[in-house]
Structure 1
Amino acid sequence: MRIGILTSGGDCPGINATIRGVGKTAMNYYGMEVMGIHSGFQGLLTKDVELFTEKSLSGLLNLGGTILGTSREKPFKKNATGPDINKVEIIRNNIAELGLDCIVCIGGNGTQKTAAKFAAIGVNVVSVPKTIDNDIWGTDFSFGFDSAVHIATDAIDRLHSTASSHKRVMVIEVMGHKAGWIALYSGMAGGGDVILVPEIPYSVANVRETIMNRLKKGKPYSIIVVAEGIPTEGGRRAGEFIAKEIERETGIETRETVLGYIQRGGSPTPFDRNLSTRMGGHATELIANGQFGRMIALNGNEISSIPLEEVAGRLKLVTEEHDLVVQGRKMGICFG
């Protein structure tokens, strides 16, 4: 068999480890040929590919980013006249001309949706969930999330000393447009006093009350962790809005820090390296067994897979019943 691997959407730690997991398993165990597809689905439009060798896959385990490059190309995206059928047909023809028996699609929610659409028209695909936001439905964790949480937690740890020294409120904005998983996990791990996520409504009055109660208890500084996707007024950034509102409401000097793309760069954590390796290996196993149209998933400690049609268009969001939220509230942490 000959398989192709592509990476699509945003970069994140662990992509290269996944490419390595797929490629080495395919070549060493199953005797497959492995082709790397550059720039996501754009590479399938232009046949921008390379045939991998053992040497191609060396040194990837701890390398950030993606050696294949990525793009936001969405072949099924609708324009004024509907989906660009021409792009889809070009890709189908190129897959046949390249002799590819299956495409491994590594990516986030958009990639899963595109992969599901290709599967629906008969293209052999297997996908691997990739996102720092951890919002892909059907898997407990996606690789990249643990690395992002590690970076955010380290930043929160460092802000504690500055907040304490200057008796300030420090607001740290982390990634998460629709899902607040990074804010929740890093906020809890970093000892945040207030954690605001898009899924749980908040009021500035409740946040102010939490900070003032801490002040009455002899705690002159507070740490607020906010996801970038929380609702704000006037289209302002989450961190900026909360910082200004808190300073106005409390009179306490307040500063914001925006982590931004730092959360997506650098080497993956050991957890993400191992998760990527396991997911990549399982993807190759599915291909060898002819099980196409599926996404790899982590459930508990077991690697399994689910139909792509169940994943497409769905998000995994934080709920108020999540045990970290429940436990945090018992400890006096404000969630809004």
Structure 2
Amino acid sequence: MSGTLAVVSQSGNSLSFFDIASGQRTAQMTDLIPEPHELLLEEKRKVMYCSHAYHHGHFWAHGENGHQISIIDPDKKQVVNIIDTKPALGPHGLVLDRERDILWCSYEEHEKSEGGGLIAIDLETHKIVKRVGSSTKTHWFVVTPDGKKAFTCNKTAPFISVLDLENEVMTGKIDTPGGTEECSISPDGKHAYFPTPGTQLGKVPDKPEILVIDTATDKIVDRIALGGGAQSTHVAADGRILVAEYRFLDGRPANGRLSVYDPKSRGLIGRADIGQMPLTIRSSPDGKLGFAANIFSGSVSVVDVSSFKPLETFVVDTEKSKFSNLCQGAHGMVYFP
């Protein structure tokens, strides 16, 4: 077990680096722009991109929308540039299109029109070169491997938006009455996975499930029943579907579970106990390790996804936010081999 994990504290405005073999924090950046959310590594320029969604708070209750993406040198542990996403506000999800050398970013609102969508940022000029509206607040999204199509998680909205990225137009909606959470896509791009219903703080929803979307037909072709509500999915390199399930007992957060499903049978393979309110999930390139950011615990659980044995817990930031009175101490992550 080797490598480095970089993880942000949303409410602590910090970025920590952990040595996976020793479990030790090796470095910490403590002066990020408020509310760092998602992290993405770009190997070509050897930098990370970090979105800043709000000035403080969280999706359900927050201050003014952010409008920045930090560019971070992971070797120097420095912010080396800032991308301004205006007029797109509330940037969140990040997806890299290596072939076109652009960074796709979701946004929740726009200065000049209603609703959110996606923007494409040229990584040489840092200019916005495309914008595709989704007709509502957009939080996360997936892009097909050919870079032509996207499906958006709109959280509380009762639909998934289908976007044509080449022609910059929304082409359809997939009905999801309960809303959806963080989505993922299979390695071959044929299926996208959306947890539903949307997160309900204080309780586990009735009949939580993963919607399996056929990306060619834009249809729901299967449903994976879950044992608990889910805030996110992630597909490992071998195609296995990792799901972060949260739990509440008597209205109070309890430890969650990292559940793993087979991509063909879509049956449950195994589960591991993790921390409270797991949000972001990532995995090692070989698919052997799963990482779950437990936002209410302010920690990251490292799990062997073959034996489903928790291997390590990285304590990131356990302080409560002075604005929300919640611990929002672990969110976006990047794994370095």
| Category of TM-score, reference length = shorter chain | under 0.3
* TM-score calculated relative to the size of structure 1: 0.22
Q: Where is the helix percentage greater, Structure 1 or Structure 2?
A: 1
Larger Rg: 1
* TM-score calculated relative to the size of structure 2: 0.22
Q: Where is the strand percentage greater, Structure 1 or Structure 2?
A: 2
